[in-house]
Amino acid sequence: MITFEVDDGVAWVTIDRPEVLNALDEAAEDELIAIWEEVEADRSVFLAVLTGAGDRAFCVGADLHAPGRSGLDYWAHLSSGGIGGIATATQLTVPVLARVNGYALGGGFEIVLGCDLAVATEDATFGFSEPLVGRLALSGGIIQLPRRTTHKRAMELLLTARRISAAEALEFGLVNQVVSRAALDEAVESWIRRLRACAPLAQRAIKQMVNETAHLSVADAMAHLTPAMVVAMQSEDAKEGVLAFNEHRSPRWEGR
């Protein structure tokens, strides 16, 4: 249900349930949670790319046709990382890029909000349909959306279940880039190249610092020391970066 491979430092994660628009049942969620744990532990990985199989959907959230928990029972048993183990994850320091190739609805939209970067096709659609069926975007949407865009825009989407286009998502600051479907893979490769140019330990430290200090005052955030920051500052890569700059060459990152 989830395909996963690591190729040259990039973890490719695909929700492979196109017959249900890549909706997640409990088994698929468990697979994703295990994959993120594996990705985080693999020091050779500098980026994860998350997408959906087929050409219709990225993910439409929980599979309502599959047996499972609902209501308060669902809320009580939510993973600390939210739907897909990533919508509200704070322990994952590897950057994650969402390759949004169609519908990103409900929990699928929550997953996009949980990613650090997102590239979407022009025909991608985003929205929280939960209120239309008497449910709530409990896996991160209600919490994350007001932190990712303005209050008024967040409440519009949360309260009315209005779907927005990729162009609107870009305007709202919810995706980084919108491209034609034919240009999607090249756009993803362009992001990979840009990210590969930077030190992976520094990137992990940056993400960890952002996650752990978002709720702090500026003074408290400046004094907050994270484990990844200590590793990055004392790494061989930190020395290599300065050396490469002085030698007028591209750095050779080792991730150590």
The 10s digit of each residue's pLDDT in 1-59 is: 999 999 999 999 999 999 999 999 989 999 999 999 999 999 999 999 999 999 999 99
Residue 225 confidence class, pLDDT cut points 50, 70, 90: confident
- Residue 243 DSSP SS3: helix
Tell me what pLDDT residue 230 has: 87
Q: What is the mean pLDDT of the chain?
A: 93
d(CA 188, CA 171): 20
Task: Give yes or no for residue 69 having a pLDDT over 60.
Answer: no
Sign (positive/negative) of CA torsion 35, 255, 185, 128?
Answer: positive
**What are the residue boundaries of the structural domains of the chain, listed by start?**
2-195, 199-246
Active site residues: 110, 130
The CATH number of domain 2-195 is 3.90.226.10: yes
160 contact partners, CB below 8 Å, separation of at least 6 = 131
Model's pTM, two decimal places? 0.93
What is the per-residue pLDDT across 187-205, written as a single tens digit (0 to 9) for each? 999 999 999 999 999 999 9
Cross-strand pairs, 46: none
Residue 22 falls in which region: left (phi positive, over 0), alpha (psi -120 to 50) or beta: left
| Residues of the chain above pLDDT 70, percent | 95
d(CA 47, CA 7): 10
Neighbours of 249 (CB within 10 A): 9
Quick one: which of 253, 196, 201 has its CA closest to 7?
196
Q: Please report, in angstroms and rounded to a whole number, the separation of the first and last CA atoms in the chain.
A: 33
d(CA 211, CA 148): 13
Q: State mean pLDDT over 77-104.
A: 91
Cross-strand pairs, 6: 11
